[in-house]
Homo-oligomer: A and B are copies of this chain.
């Protein structure tokens, strides 16, 4: 069983207070960049890997999707997703993504927002998703950027000149990182950009677009605490085609 931090009471309470939890997709600064990678969803069958409160599932239906399946490992997240959804074309399934199995050629679009860095075995997932997509089907996802997950201690350090420096002290050391984000001891799995890329390519995907989300000057003016994200972008976005 994979880590299920979202069913930790304290984590869930904190997570529920994040702007993106309260206000939805529009409060996620990277959402416009991720949305821009999506194909037209009209008539498509969609799977959302790590659907959380089901916000993207409902957005997909509002934007023409025929059927949407949301999967998540967290019972609490899915309870809330169910309670906020009145749509028989959206189904939620509790599944541990680490052991996910999907029927062949059953979806046109696979989507995932900020979930894959919790997975230990991304190569297995890439293969599972690839065979579950129809020919020409697309996988669009975001992850915490490897520059963000690399450090052994992920917090800025100050150099002799007083500059805040992101401590990139183990980019090539792939493996688990223990962080204290919203709760103590959350485990994320650091992988390099090349490992994400080659896992997809080995599964049979053609990777079509990359984005390293960072704030624009307008973003920074509105949210000065995002200025640091210009130093190491927090999110990596990828689009790949079967």
Task: Find chain B residues with CB under 8 A from A166 CB.
Answer: 168-169
Cα–Cα distance between A15 and B18 once the two chains are bound (Å)? 53
Does A136 reach chain B (CB closer than 8 Å)? Answer: no
Closest to A169 in B: B231
**Which one of A103-111, A119-127, A193-201 is at the B interface?**
A193-201
Q: Which of A205-230 contact B (CB under 8 A)?
A: 206-212, 214, 229-230
Among A3-11, A46-54, A70-78, A157-165, the stretch that binds chain B is A157-165
**A166 to B172 alpha-carbon distance, docked (Å):** 13
Quickly give the copy total for this chain. Answer: 2
Q: Which residues in window 131-150 of A have CB below 8 A to B?
A: 147
Distance in Å: Cβ of A201 to nearest Cβ of chain B: 6
Considering the complex, give the chain B residue whose CB is closest to the CB of A173: B230
Do A169 and B173 touch across chains, with their CB atoms under 8 A apart? no
Please measure, in the bound complex, the distance between the C-alpha atom of A135 and the C-alpha atom of B206, giving whole angstroms.
17
Say yes or no: is A176 at the interface (Cβ < 8 Å to chain B).
no
- Say whether, besides A163-B167, A233-B171, A209 and B214 are in contact (CB < 8 Å): no
Asked if B147 and A230 sit within 8 Å, CB to CB, the answer is no
Known: A209-B201, A210-B198. A167 touches B169 (CB 8 A): no
Query: Across the interface, do B169 and A168 meet the contact criterion of CB distance under 8 Å?
Result: no
Which B residues lie within 8 Å of A210 (CB)?
A: 193-194, 197-198
A85 in the interface (beta carbon within 8 A):
no
Q: Which residues of B contact A20 (CB under 8 A)?
A: none
Assembled-state Cα–Cα distance A155/B11 (Å): 39
Q: With A and B bound together, what is the CA distance between A234 and B211 in angstroms?
A: 21
Beta-carbon contact of A172 and B214 below 8 Å: yes
Q: How far is the CA of A197 from the CA of B58 in the complex (A)?
A: 32
Complex Cα spacing A210 to B198, Å: 7
With A170-B231, A172-B212, A207-B207 already in contact, 13 other A-B pairs whose C-beta atoms are closer than 8 Å: A158-B159, A165-B165, A165-B167, A165-B168, A168-B168, A171-B212, A171-B231, A171-B232, A172-B229, A172-B231, A194-B211, A197-B209, A198-B209
Which residues of A come within 8 Å of B, CB atoms?
Answer: 147, 157-160, 163, 165-173, 192-194, 197-198, 201, 206-212, 214, 229-233
